[in-house]
Amino acid sequence: MIDPIVAKIESLKRERNAVLLVHNYQMGEVQDIADHLGDSLGLSQVAARTDADVIVFCGVYFMAETAAILNPEKKVLLPDRYAGCPLADMITVEQLCEMKEKHPDAVVVCYVNSSAEIKAESDYCCTSANAEAVVNSIDSGRDIIFVPDKYLGGYTAGQTGRELILWQGYCPTHARISPKAIERLKQEHPAALVMAHPECPPSVLKIADEVLSTSGMCRVAAESDAVEFIVATEVGMLHRLKKENPLKEFYPAARNAVCKNMKMINLEKILWSLEDMAPEITVPAEIREQALTAIQRMVDIH
């Protein structure tokens, strides 16, 4: 029997011509009713081409902002407007402008985990899925400022052979994951494949079998001959992995790798958001226009 709240959500979606975009780190009950479930890049690409009049973004604030920038004519809802991102908050526009003054000829690449204002001051936006491709697309003679994630930036530098000027931000959730915990799990499950998100510290990435975005984790879990996996990212990812691969086992590298912001949205808040058509996320026109080029480059580069 269908949950009455889910039934009401589905009815309102049809009435409002709304689409539900859900990030892989959301709670399982939210993932299960998604129209599109994915990582930041995949959801941004969906947002850019959707025919829906209303986008309900189940993620964090910067994701809804990105959708609003790509779709100024649509209504973008974030069921909890206080679902923020500590990583995005680790750099201000003033700090980025100081970096740009020190390196006036540098190209600025910002991770999608950043505010609309930071994107407006950037030349390119990227996600963990396409950071390497974005950096490789930039002329080899240009310096590159990479903000705000030092771990993703450092990993991308290693993969591309480019020296990147890094801001020292990081994701507190991924920083909780330690190599010692993974080594202990490897002793218990010696055949397990270790998949790590590039937001993890370098000591974790060093011992991983695969360094992947969340969409990459889904692909490898499905295609690999391995039947056990140690997953070094936010624990919400395990719901999707297990649902899509019921005959395989997935172990969290750190059970406390929980992003509280990602867990702020639930079914009730989605229902209320569709009933009230709020909270609506908007971006001032000037910032939107400045940020659009960087975001469009992210969406276009796979």
Residues 151 and 185 in one domain: no
Does residue 197 belong to any structural domain of this protein? Answer: yes
Q: Select from 112, 139, 171 the last residue of a domain.
A: 171
**For the segment 152-177, what is each residue's pLDDT rounded down to a tens digit?**
999 999 999 999 999 999 999 999 99
Residues 21 and 48 in one domain: yes
Residues 43 and 24 in one domain: yes
pLDDT over 90 percentage in the chain: 94
- Cα-only R_g, the chain: 19
Does residue 139 belong to any structural domain of this protein? Answer: yes
Rounded Cα gap, residues 262 and 255, in angstroms: 15
Residues 95 and 149 in one domain: yes
**pLDDT for 152:** 98
Does residue 290 belong to any structural domain of this protein? Answer: no
Yes or no: say if 114 and 88 are a contact pair by the CB < 8 Å rule.
yes
Give me the domain span that covers residue 147: 88-171
Does residue 291 belong to any structural domain of this protein? Answer: no
Q: For residue 69, what is the domain's CATH number?
A: 3.40.50.10800
Q: For the whole prediction, is pTM greater than 0.75? A: yes
Does residue 298 belong to any structural domain of this protein? Answer: no
Structure token pair of residue 4: 């009455």
Helix (H, G, I), strand (E, B) or coil at 18: strand
Residues 100 and 166 in one domain: yes
User: Could you give the number of structural domains in the chain?
Assistant: 3
Structure token pair of residue 140: 């080899």
Rounded Cα gap, residues 252 and 53, in angstroms: 37
Structure token pair of residue 161: 């052979």
Does residue 189 belong to any structural domain of this protein? Answer: yes
**For the segment 44-57, what is each residue's pLDDT rounded down to a tens digit?**
889 889 999 999 99
Phi/psi of residue 27, nearest 5 degrees:
-60, 155
Residues 188 and 133 in one domain: no
Rounded Cα gap, residues 224 and 291, in angstroms: 38
Instruction: State mean pLDDT over 64-76.
Output: 94
